[in-house]
Amino acid sequence: MALDPPPDISSLALFIDVDGTLLEIAPTPLAVRVDPELTELLRGLLLGTGGALALVSGRSIAVLDALFRPLVLCSAGLHGFERRNASGLYESRRLPAAAALDKVRRALLELANQHPGLHVEDKRFALALHYRRVPHLESMVVRAMTDIAAGVRPEFELQLGKMVTELRPAGSTKGVAVSKFMAEPPFQGRFPIYIGDDLTDESAFEWVNGAGGRSIAVNVSSATAARERLPSVTAVRAWLAQIRGASSLSR
Whether the pLDDT of residue 46 is over 90: the answer is: yes
CATH of 98-169, one of 3.30.360.10, 3.40.50.800, 3.30.70.1020, 3.40.50.720: 3.30.70.1020
Range scoring the smallest mean pLDDT among 47-56, 91-100, 102-111, 224-233: 91-100
E-strand stretches of the chain? 12-16, 53-56, 74-77, 82-84, 90-92, 119-122, 127-130, 156-161, 164-169, 191-196, 214-218, 228-230
**Closest by CA position to 173, among listed 55, 73, 76:** 76
What confidence category does residue 248 fall into, taking pLDDT thresholds of 50, 70 and 90? very low
Q: What is the pTM of this model?
A: 0.86
Amino acid, res. 223: A
Give residue 143's pLDDT band: very low, low, confident or very high (50, 70, 90): very high
Answer whether 185's CB lies under 8 Å from 86's CB: yes
pLDDT in tens, 153-209: 888 889 888 888 989 888 889 999 999 999 999 999 999 999 999 889 999 999 999
Instruction: Give the dihedral sign, CA 237/39/63/171.
Output: negative
User: What pLDDT score does 246 carry?
Assistant: 64
- What mean pLDDT is predicted for residues 61-78? 96
For the stretch 216-236, pLDDT in tens is 999 998 899 999 999 999 999
231 CB contacts (<8 Å, ≥6 apart)?
218, 219
Q: What is the mean pLDDT of residues 8-26?
A: 94
Confidence of residue 31 (pLDDT cuts 50, 70, 90): confident
CB atoms closer than 10 angstroms to residue 145: 24
DSSP 74-100: EEEEGGGTEEE-TT--EEEPPPPPHHH
d(CA 63, CA 65): 5
List the chain domain ranges. 9-93+172-249, 98-169
Whole-number percent of the chain with pLDDT over 70: 97
User: Do 9-93+172-249 and 98-169 share a fold?
Assistant: no
Q: Residue 75 half-sphere exposure, CB side, CA atoms within 13 Å?
A: 21
- CATH number assigned to the domain covering 9-93+172-249: 3.40.50.1000
Which band of pLDDT confidence, cut at 50, 70 and 90, is reported for residue 247? low
Dist. CA 164–CA 134, nearest whole Å: 11
**What pLDDT is recorded for position 221?**
85
State the chain's mean pLDDT as an integer: 91
Is position 17 annotated as part of the catalytic site? yes
Q: Which of 17, 19, 65, 198 is catalytic?
A: 17
Read off the pLDDT of residues 113-137 as tens digits, 9 standing for 90 and up.
999 999 998 888 889 999 999 999 9
